[in-house]
Amino acid sequence: MDLKSKWLLGLAGGIFALGVGIYRSKNAESPAPLATKASASKSPSHSTGPDPSVISPEAALAYLAADAQADADRAREKLHALVREKFALFRQTSTEDEETQARLNHELLALLTDANAGDLVSFLSAEELSTPLGLAALDRWLKIDAPRALAWVSAQGTIADAQTYVIARRLLEVPGRLDSFVAQLPNTEWKQQFLSTAALEAAGTDTALALKLAQAMSAGDAQTNVVETAVYGWMTKDPMAASQWIAQVTDPALRDRLLAVSVKAIAVTDPDLAAGWLKQAFASEGPFAEAALSVVENWISRDPLKTSAWVAQLPPGRSRDAAIEIVVQKWLSVDPSAAAAWIASLPERQEILARVKDQQEAGATKLLE
């Protein structure tokens, strides 16, 4: 007999002996006298159960498993009672008592383990799931047992924003799992919320994934917001690739909005380049106008002479008026003489000076009040 066979035989014998010992200790108050064949045959009604001396290893293992389950059930009931007690104390605590609330949250979080994360998520109420304990338990469950955690998520009717964020963040760590999870979701309001949350979270690090998730969304403001956010971040990292992608957008209105977002992104680091993009922007009062004002706001503090010259050549309209207002307010506060000379060169100088005077008088009045 080889070493492995001897080891397995010894293990089976140990389990058998343990099962016999537990059975005897749990089912016999005192040692029973040995029965003869004759007495056993004459008194079958006095039998108290299977003879411990002939209990099988399978039965011993089943008994051990049942006993362990009973212990686990008692431990779970104790945990649930403790959680309920601490949440009750938390609700009784004044919102101004931040120290007590922080202590209770710390004590609740200390109860969380890998073994009880899923049980706690299933046990907590909808309100409690949005607490630090609920969110930490959901995050832990998704980390250690994603299939069961996602099955629970799919079975829920509604899920709060904080929980949606936790789910999205975990799934973004495994794109394949994210794809399969999204594919099996019914087209509900929560699916749109989840796609938006996941896409916005991905936008800072993975533009391609963010745009892919956006394409799975229903058309509307939420989808446009995701695309604009992704493009803004993309433009700050790789403006050439982002520009090429924008040029392929077939919806003219969306393309204009994305170009405007791109200008805002560029204006933060290179107002000169952004201004070049916007040379013809003020022909429209659409999204380009807002982008141009963003350029002016970022440019004026760096190069007021170049900014003011650029604003001066803009066509008449509300956007030009707003741009002039930005230059006047910013420039007058740092170089009043240069700002005044620039105002005097503009055709609408009288209107501008009147506005400045009104603002100064209003400010003085406010100081006197």
Give, in degrees to the nearest 5, the angle at Cα 53 between 51 and 58: 90
205 or 260, which is more confident? 205
Q: Are 60 and 19 in contact (CB under 8 A)?
A: yes
pLDDT digits (tens, 9 = 90+) for 7-47: 444 444 554 454 545 545 555 544 444 444 444 444 454 44
Handedness of CA 295, 300, 302, 306 (dihedral sign): positive
Burial class (CB in 10 A: 0-12, 13-18, 19+), 98: exposed
Cβ neighbours of residue 352 closer than 8 Å, sequence gap 6 or more: 324, 328, 343, 346
Q: Tell me: the pLDDT tens digits for 260-306?
A: 888 888 877 777 777 776 665 444 556 666 777 777 887 888 888 88
Among 10-14, 76-80, 185-189, 301-305, the minimum mean pLDDT is found in: 10-14
What share of the chain in percent tops pLDDT 90?
A: 42
Q: Is the pLDDT of residue 132 over 80?
A: yes
Give residue 227's pLDDT.
96
The closest alpha carbon to 320, from 278, 274, 269, belongs to 278
Where is average pLDDT lowest: 8-22, 125-139, 149-163, 242-256?
A: 8-22
pLDDT at position 56 is 73
Q: How confident is the model over 206-243, as pLDDT tens digits?
A: 999 999 999 999 999 999 999 999 999 998 888 889 88
Give the residue with greater pLDDT, 256 vs 137. 137
Tokens of 21: 């010992």
Hey, what are 45's tokens? 């009604």
**In which residue are the tokens 């659409």 written?**
286
* Structure tokens belonging to residue 363: 């400010």
Q: What is the pLDDT of residue 37?
A: 44
Cβ contact 71:65 at 8 Å: no
Among 30-39, 104-113, 326-335, the range scoring the smallest mean pLDDT is 30-39
Sketch the domain layout of the chain as residue ranges: 74-150, 248-369
CB atoms within 10 A of CB 329: 13
Give me the chain's average pLDDT, please. 81
